[in-house]
Amino acid sequence: MKKTTFFGAVAAATMTAGFAAAGTLDDVKAKGFLQCGVSTGLAGFSAADANGNWDGFDVAVCRAVAAAVLGDPQAVKFTPTTGKTRFTALASGEIDMLARNTTWTFSRDVDLKFTFIGVNYYDGQGFMVPKELGVSSAKDLDGATVCIQTGTTTELNLADFFRSNNISYEPVPIETNAEAQQQYLAGACDVYTTDASGLAATRATFENPDDHALLPEIISKEPLGPLVRHGDDQWADIGRWVLNALIAAEELGITSANVKESAMAAGNNPEINRLLGTEGNLGEQLGLSADFAKNAIAAGGNYGEIFARHIGESTPIGLARGLNAQWTDGGLIYAPPFR
Amino acid sequence: MSATTDPPKDGFQLSQLIYDTRYRSMTIQIVALVLFLLGVGWLLNNAAQNLAALGKPLSFGFLGEAAGYDINQKLIEYNNQMSHGRAALVGVLNTLLVAVLGCILATVLGVVIGVLRLSNNWVVARLMTVYIESFRNVPVLLWIVLTMAIFIESFPAPRAFRGENASASMSLWDSVALTNRGLYIPKPELYSGSTAVIVVFLLSIVGIFVFGTWSRKRQEATGQILPNFWIKLAIFFVPTLLVYFILGRPIGLELPELKGFNFQGGIYMRNSLIALTLALGLYTAAFVAENVRAGIMAVSKGQSEAAFALGLSPNRTMNLIILPQALRVIIPPLISQYLNLTKNSSLAIAVGYMDITGTLGGITLNQTGKEMECLLILMAIYLAISLLISSVMNWYNESVKLRER
């Protein structure tokens, strides 16, 4: 009896292993939802509301991919991850995709075996200090106590910055943004450092945001983007081209308001036709339906709409487009051609 | 006529492995062992195959590469250009530090609370019951987070000490600063001539032991009891202080001073270290107290009655009769409490204390992506520390246990 159970377990395990080796696309279609890793809560990027619905700039990418693959932007289950747990969650297959303001670096791409499917926010590491300290430059921070989120590129940048400027500091490693906020507001650290967008988002939730200043120095390049595991190129292509579709849609003037209309019949612009599936077979080449991009855009609008709704200047977070404007407006956001 | 039944003479048959009681248990054990080894082998093979499929074969080379991150509390020299291995070592020492401090706190508190819980004073005994039950029945992680939150929110930030009308000030003649970043205390500074003071101090500690032995022998021979405690206290303080003042106070104090963002100088005990030690110590003390209570109650009542009949005071009865016998019952479960405390210290990252889980199992794991390797090393380190603690404590247990002849 024992033996039977054992071999049964072995057989079951082997089958599961074989199943996992099949494409992520088939997995997602089979279970009927996308498992997406997001942060544990960063206003504007990914945060759950009182009803447990996730919303935000990073969450919108997950919803667009779910809409493109499954036709339903709500078919997403979210896994909150910390800076420390996110890579293990992705590498182990617990999540299908990670959209958690994660910096694209060489070692994460090559050594940790992940594929970044693009950049949805160009960022850099900044510092936030209380105005009453009277600090105007990061170089004045000699001897300061600095709160950092552990398991991120920021702690390496910080070490490099203080070493190259030959000044000392006291790092306080923190697991989540919420804890960092508590320590910073209580004065247990003088400075809070993370990506400038994250600082702006955190400051927006303070009682008196005006008592805190972001220092002018941006000490690193932090291209943030969604990522998937190495080795499943089809799945990586899907993620990459859904993101590009959102970006191209803004460039081509397709919004959540007019996407349905534009997708009804082929129009004059061949690129729009190819993007929305009224011409050519781009969706089929990806292994998706012809209207995948239409669904993705209908889910939350184009890149510009998503930006404006979650983190743009009209929101409490109030980030300007800056580097994240379309290339036609002098920014870095640029989608390769759909053809 | 012989009553013995000889085993059948005809040779060994395979079916005997199952039907013959002499071989059956052996057969079952061998089959179980083979199955177990197969299971382990399958797990290992599975892990190796999956790692290979991910393109991440097991390798420990990353331990020699530059770590690139800083650690706030370091007991040995470390900077971000040193290796991941060195960072792990810094973490191990931090783990050991908090484990040792926590064990000392837990033992002292636990013994006191355990004895007090048996007190005849109703209020004291009930208070101790409340303490034990509330600490034992709430997860230690919550105690750690709570201690840290109280620490951060209730003490002033260093910047409150600044300026003409500062809202906070240093205590104990401006020598100690208690901030929400930690405790700054004076650090001894050694000038020339300080060696003599230290040597005298060490000699007087030896003197205390010599005096103790002599006094015990004297008591056994004559039956007279000296005021041992006061004499030992005098030996502890008088010679050292005499030499200290005769040599013109060769040991000074470096006081912490507010400079820039933080206090500088003195010894800095971080809020994370204090909060973690307190939480672990208070939590484990509740368990130790129960062990102590069990140990004391295990000593038969006749022992204390006999001591009282001999005219010993309650204090002496506790110290000379009850506790030495209770120790035999207390030590074995105490070992496992020490092990628990050490293992619970891996929750340190909740308050940002850089123990081995925070360095090797945290930042190093995250930056290098070597999950399997880091976790294997981490487990090996905890195993080694635990085995070390239990062997030391077992050795101590040997020395206090009942000598049976």
Compute the average pLDDT of residues B2-30: 76
Nearest-CB residue to B352 (from A108, A158, A174): A174
- Segment among B89-93, B195-199, B305-309 with least mean pLDDT: B195-199
Position B179 scores a pLDDT of 86
Same-domain status, A230 and A320: yes
**Domain residue limits at B306:** 58-152+271-405
Residue A274, Cβ density class (10 Å: 0-12 exposed, 13-18 middle, ≥19 buried) = buried
| Nearest chain A CA: its distance from B142 CA (Å) | 14
Same-domain status, A294 and A277: yes
Q: What is the mean pLDDT of chain B?
A: 87
Using DSSP, state whether A239 is helix, strand or coil. helix
> Which residues are CB-contacts of B23 (< 8 A; sequence separation ≥ 6)?
B16, B17
Position A10 scores a pLDDT of 47
> Tens digits of per-residue pLDDT, A218-256?
888 889 999 999 888 999 999 999 999 999 999 999 998
Q: Is residue A5 part of a domain?
A: no
Question: Could you tell me which residue, B2 or A123, shows the higher pLDDT?
Answer: A123
Taking contacts as CB-CB distances below 8 angstroms, the residues of chain B near A141 are: 261
Residue where a domain terminates, one of A220, A237, A254: A220
Q: Is residue B168 part of a domain?
A: no
- The two structure tokens encoding residue B274: 């204090």
Q: Is residue B164 part of a domain?
A: no
Residue where a domain terminates, one of A183, A198, A220: A220
Determine whether the interchain pair A159/B153 forms a contact, defined as Cβ–Cβ distance below 8 Å: no
Residue with tokens 């747990």: A85
Residue B167 pLDDT > 80, yes or no?
no
Confidence class for position B347, pLDDT limits 50, 70, 90: very high
Taking contacts as CB-CB distances below 8 angstroms, the residues of chain A near B35 are: 2-3, 6
Q: Is residue B74 part of a domain?
A: yes
Position B3 scores a pLDDT of 56
Q: Is residue A254 part of a domain?
A: yes
Confidence class for position B346, pLDDT limits 50, 70, 90: very high
Radius of gyration of chain A (CA): 22
Residue B135 pLDDT > 90, yes or no?
yes
Residue where a domain terminates, one of A193, A220, A247: A220
The answer to whether B246 and B200 have CB atoms below 8 angstroms apart is: no
Position A11 scores a pLDDT of 46
Q: Is residue B157 part of a domain?
A: no
Q: Is residue B98 part of a domain?
A: yes
Domain count of the fold of chain A: 2
Residue A15 pLDDT > 50, yes or no?
no
> Tens digits of per-residue pLDDT, B171-227?
777 778 888 888 888 888 877 778 888 888 899 999 999 988 998 888 888 878 778
Q: Is residue A336 part of a domain?
A: no
Same-domain status, A109 and A137: no
> Tens digits of per-residue pLDDT, B370-388?
888 899 999 999 999 999 9
The answer to whether B378 and B89 have CB atoms below 8 angstroms apart is: no
> Tens digits of per-residue pLDDT, A20-45?
445 889 999 999 999 999 998 888 89
- Taking the C-alpha atoms of residue A297 and residue A283, their distance in angstroms, rounded to an integer, is 14
Interface of B with A in 39-58 (CB under 8 A): 39, 42, 46, 50, 53-56
Same-domain status, A44 and A178: no
Nearest-CB residue to B271 (from A6, A132, A188): A188
Position A64 scores a pLDDT of 94
Q: Is residue B280 part of a domain?
A: yes
Interface of B with A in 279-298 (CB under 8 A): none
- Segment among A307-316, B6-15, B81-90, B329-338 with least mean pLDDT: B6-15
| CA distances, B363 to each of A86, A266, B84 (Å) | 13, 53, 10
Q: Is B358 an 8 Å CB contact of chain A?
A: yes
Confidence class for position B4, pLDDT limits 50, 70, 90: low
Confidence class for position B91, pLDDT limits 50, 70, 90: very high
Residue B220, Cβ density class (10 Å: 0-12 exposed, 13-18 middle, ≥19 buried) = exposed
> Tens digits of per-residue pLDDT, B245-297?
888 777 777 888 887 788 887 888 888 999 999 999 999 999 999 999 999 99
Position A20 scores a pLDDT of 46
**Domain residue limits at A267:** 23-122+223-329
Same-domain status, A252 and A161: no
Same-domain status, A103 and A148: no
High-pLDDT (> 90) share of chain B, %: 35
The CATH number of the domain holding residue B295 is 1.10.3720.10
| Nearest chain A CA: its distance from B338 CA (Å) | 27
Same-domain status, A110 and A237: yes
Q: In terms of CA atoms, which chain B residue is nearest residue A155? A: B69
Compute the average pLDDT of residues B326-353: 90
> Which residues are CB-contacts of A328 (< 8 A; sequence separation ≥ 6)?
A251
Taking contacts as CB-CB distances below 8 angstroms, the residues of chain A near B159 are: 132-133, 187, 190
Same-domain status, A103 and A137: no
Q: Is residue B405 part of a domain?
A: yes
Residue A6 pLDDT > 60, yes or no?
no
Q: Is residue A13 part of a domain?
A: no
Triad B8, B9, B10: Cα angle to 5°: 95
The CATH number of the domain holding residue A109 is 3.40.190.10
Position A3 scores a pLDDT of 47
> Tens digits of per-residue pLDDT, A177-220?
888 888 899 888 899 998 888 888 888 888 888 889 888 888 88
Question: CB neighbours (10 Å) of residue A281?
Answer: 10
Q: Is A88 an 8 Å CB contact of chain B?
A: yes
Q: Cα A304 to chain center, whole Å? A: 15
- The two structure tokens encoding residue B55: 């393109």
> Tens digits of per-residue pLDDT, A283-292?
999 999 988 9
Q: Is B71 an 8 Å CB contact of chain A?
A: yes
CA torsion B101-B105-B107-B108 (nearest 10°) is: 130
Same-domain status, A252 and A318: yes
Residue A12 pLDDT > 70, yes or no?
no
Domain count of the fold of chain B: 1
Q: Is residue A297 part of a domain?
A: yes
Same-domain status, A320 and A302: yes
Position A19 scores a pLDDT of 43
| CA distances, A219 to each of A153, A332, B234 (Å) | 12, 19, 60
Same-domain status, A183 and A69: no
Determine whether the interchain pair B363/A151 forms a contact, defined as Cβ–Cβ distance below 8 Å: yes
Q: Is residue B88 part of a domain?
A: yes
Q: In terms of CA atoms, which chain B residue is nearest residue A84? A: B366
DSSP class of A65 = H
- Taking the C-alpha atoms of residue B335 and residue A245, their distance in angstroms, rounded to an integer, is 62
Position A177 scores a pLDDT of 82
Q: Is residue A207 part of a domain?
A: yes
Position B216 scores a pLDDT of 87
Using DSSP, state whether B63 is helix, strand or coil. helix
Q: Is B157 an 8 Å CB contact of chain A?
A: yes
Q: Is residue A11 part of a domain?
A: no
Nearest residue to B339 (alpha-carbon basis) of B389, B270, B378, B391: B389
Q: Is residue A79 part of a domain?
A: yes
Same-domain status, A242 and A319: yes
Position B2 scores a pLDDT of 52
